[in-house]
């Protein structure tokens, strides 16, 4: 996975404000670029707007239930990032003169030691550009760096895009024994 740092722009790379800390300016399959960095407290309104822009199907795939609008309690939970047990990377792009959230990946530690659950969501207008793979790649790298031994994702059995992404990254997939409408993707993070 190739990463460009913000301080080494190329002629086709859009200008992003200087960033402190961990971040990447990544090229997409269509030639566009996104800024990927850890989710920050000031992203709360962006996160809410991102969820609201998702199609009903994409919201269902993300939350495994139908929601119209995230509650304040849900936003509190989504924004609770400690960079170790709970991590999220946001993808930002210039859209209509504003810096907009167009994708997010996150993991949360599970009760089982050394395991985390992950999720990747991409704005419907930004799908099929390679963004999901970029977000998941950074998330896997962070989980490994933080000592997690396994990662899993519980998804709708009809979410073909997530099944393809999981397969591309080497996840194994089984039907959820507790819910026939769901599958569980699992990836060992250690050799």
Model confidence pLDDT, tens digit, residues 94-137: 998 889 999 999 999 999 999 999 999 999 999 999 999 999 99
In sign, the C-alpha dihedral spanning 117, 51, 163, 126 is: negative
Residue 158: the pLDDT is: 93
pLDDT tens digits, 8-59: 334 445 578 788 889 999 999 999 999 999 999 999 999 999 999 999 998 8
| Chosen CATH of 24-188 out of 3.40.190.10, 3.40.630.30, 3.40.50.300, 3.90.550.10 | 3.40.630.30
Q: Are 37 and 21 spatial neighbours (Cβ–Cβ below 8 Å)? A: yes
Residue-range domain boundaries for the chain: 24-188
Is residue 66 predicted with pLDDT exceeding 80? no
DSSP output for 32-90: -EEEEEE--GGGHHHHHHHHHHS-HHHHHHHHSS--SS--HHHHHHHH---SSSEEEEE
- Predicted confidence at residue 109, as pLDDT, reads 97
What 3-state DSSP class applies to 132?
Answer: helix
- pLDDT value of residue 62: 83
* 3 has pLDDT over 80: no
Average pLDDT, the chain: 90
Rounded to whole angstroms, the Cα distance separating 24 from 19 reads 9
């Amino acid at each position: 996975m190739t990463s460009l740092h913000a301080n080494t722009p190329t002629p086709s790379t859009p200008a992003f404000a200087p960033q402190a800390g961990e971040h990447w300016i990544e090229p997409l399959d269509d030639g566009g670029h996104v800024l990927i960095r850890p989710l920050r407290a000031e992203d709360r309104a962006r996160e809410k707007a991102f969820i609201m822009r998702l199609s009903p199907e994409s919201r269902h795939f993300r939350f495994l239930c139908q929601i119209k609008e995230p509650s304040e309690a849900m936003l509190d939970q989504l924004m609770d990032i400690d960079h170790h047990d709970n991590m999220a990377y946001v993808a930002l792009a210039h859209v209509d003169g504003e810096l907009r959230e167009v994708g997010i990946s996150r993991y949360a530690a599970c009760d089982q030691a050394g395991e985390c659950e992950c999720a990747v969501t991409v704005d419907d207008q930004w799908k099929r550009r390679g963004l999901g793979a970029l977000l998941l790649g950074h998330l896997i790298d962070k989980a490994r760096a933080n000592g997690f031994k396994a990662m899993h994702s519980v998804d709708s059995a009809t979410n073909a895009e997530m099944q393809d992404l999981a397969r591309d990254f080497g996840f194994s997939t089984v039907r959820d024994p507790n819910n026939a409408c769901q599958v569980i993707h699992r990836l060992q993070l250690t050799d």
